[in-house]
Amino acid sequence: MVSDTQKLIISPSPHLKAKDTVGSAMRDVFIALLPVVAVAIYFYHVYAAFLIGVCLVTAVLTELLFRKLSGKKPTLHDWSALLTGLFVALLFTATTPWWKAAIATFIAVGIAKELMGGLGWNRFNPALFGRVAMILLAPIFAFVDDWFAPLATYMGSVDVATQATPLAMLNAGMEMPPLGQLFAAFPGGALSEVSPLALLIGAAYLFYRKHITWHIPAAMIVTVAVLTLIAGENPLYHLFTGGMMIGAFFMATDWVTSPFTDRGKLLFGACIGILVVIFRVGLSPTEGVAFSILIMNAFVPLIDKAMKRPSFSEPRKQTQAS
């Protein structure tokens, strides 16, 4: 509001504002993903670039469409649609048919985010929701594959893309590649799985910018490490394969779908860790991290309520008694 006489601005206190905005924070997460994007493109060349491009474009179009339909202003400037698009792309393997990734992105941005009320109201991590929806819907889409077959684009051969993923090798009890290589950069699996190191570099940037705290990743990693150790396996292989790294640092730490408090975050991370180990050791290993995080997303309101800390002015028990 501008006062009419001297054109002074009037608005409620506080009058100062920290610089971070939702847009700048989301952009930072985008930037934090660039190292792993670079490694993915290094291994899969145009396949990776094409897949990412398709997802980004779909994400933007989906957001525009849903905002138009609901009569709300587009919120592209908050970067969240682009970020979701990039996340979805990174959850697929390089040779995934492009239309599958596009549908997943549509589900992620359109259904998991916009239909839930927009950024902030979504209960599930949109990218994971889109990815997992495609797994669950796979039977339906099996025949759709044939329709789209003529649309498939041939972009030259990529031999690395057909090789077994390290996680599958681990489960099949195959000879594993050296740990150092697995950690630094090793092709196989989804785009985001190529390099734990690149993800860690990105995560370090997010810590530095204070967008995430250590609680969720630490709880998740420690839980997985301890439980796999008890199960008699080498925890490092579990940490460096599959969706563990992107899950711990980028997905489970998603602002909207994680608990409020540090204690809540620790519990949340630990529960995800337990579920991951159950999925990996007991059930099928594919996308165990994605399922675990989504399951725990559903419990966030419960965790928040149960973990509510007392207000500063809440009388302490002892003083009441005296």
Partner 1 sequence: MEVKTFQGGAHIPHFKSYTEDKPITRLSPPKEVIVPLLQHMGAPCEPLVKEGDKVEIGQKIGDSEETFSAPVHASISGTVKEVGKRTVPTGGEDDCIVIEADDGPQEFEMKQIRDPQNIDLEEYRKCVREGGLTGMGGAALPTHVQVKYNEQVDTLLLNGAECEPFLTCDHRIMVEKAEELVRGAELMMNSIGAKRTLFGIEVNKPDAIEAVNELIKDRDDMEVVSLAVKYPQGFKSHLIKAATGRDVPRGARSAELGCIVRNVGTTVASYEACVYGKPLIERVVTVSGPKVTKPGNYIVRIGSPISHILKECGVEELENHKVVIGGPMTGLAQPHLEVPVVKSSTGVIVLPPDMTREWMEYTDCVRCDKCVEHCPMMLYPNQISIYAEAGLHEKAEEWDLMDCIECGICSYVCPAARPIVHWVQRAKPEIQKLQRSRK
Residue 190 pairs with which residues in a beta bridge?
93
d(CA 24, CA 281): 39
Token pair, residue 85, equals 């698009």
Long-range contacts of the stretch 138-146 (C-beta < 8 A, 24+): 141/100, 141/103, 144/99, 145/97
Runs of H (alpha helix) within 209-287: 215-230, 235-240, 244-246, 262-277
Dist. CA 139–CA 132, nearest whole Å? 13
Return the bridge partners of 290, or none.
none
Position 21 contacts partner 1 (CB under 8 A): yes
Q: Is 312 in the site for partner 1 (CB under 8 A)?
A: yes
Between 22 and 184, CB nearer to partner 1 = 22
Two tokens, residue 94: 């390089």
Q: Minimal distance in Å, beta carbon 113 to partner 1?
A: 11
Mask 122-161, x = binds partner 1 (CB under 8 A)? Answer: ----------------------------------------
Tell whether residue 2 is a contact of partner 1 (CB under 8 A).
yes
- Least distance CB 267 / partner 1 (angstroms): 14
Nearest to 261 by CA among 205, 208, 305, 318: 305
CB nearer to partner 1: give 98 or 124: 124
Q: Which of 136, 173, 316, 317 binds partner 1 (CB under 8 A)?
A: 316
Q: Which residues ranging from 195 to 214 are in contact with partner 1 (CB under 8 A)? A: 211, 213
Q: Which of 10, 136, 140, 172 binds partner 1 (CB under 8 A)?
A: 10
Among 34, 75, 99, 116, the residue binding partner 1 under the rule CB under 8 A is 75
The sign of the torsion formed by the CA atoms of 60, 62, 65, 67 equals: negative
Q: Which of 192, 195, 199, 190 is nearest to 217 (CA)?
A: 199
The yes or no reply on residue 3 touching partner 1 (CB under 8 A) is yes
State in angstroms the smallest separation of the CB of 6 from partner 1: 6
Minimal distance, residue 85 CB to partner 1, in Å: 18
Residues near partner 1, by CB under 8 A: 1-3, 5-18, 20-22, 24-25, 75, 78, 117-121, 211, 213, 255-258, 260-262, 308-316, 319
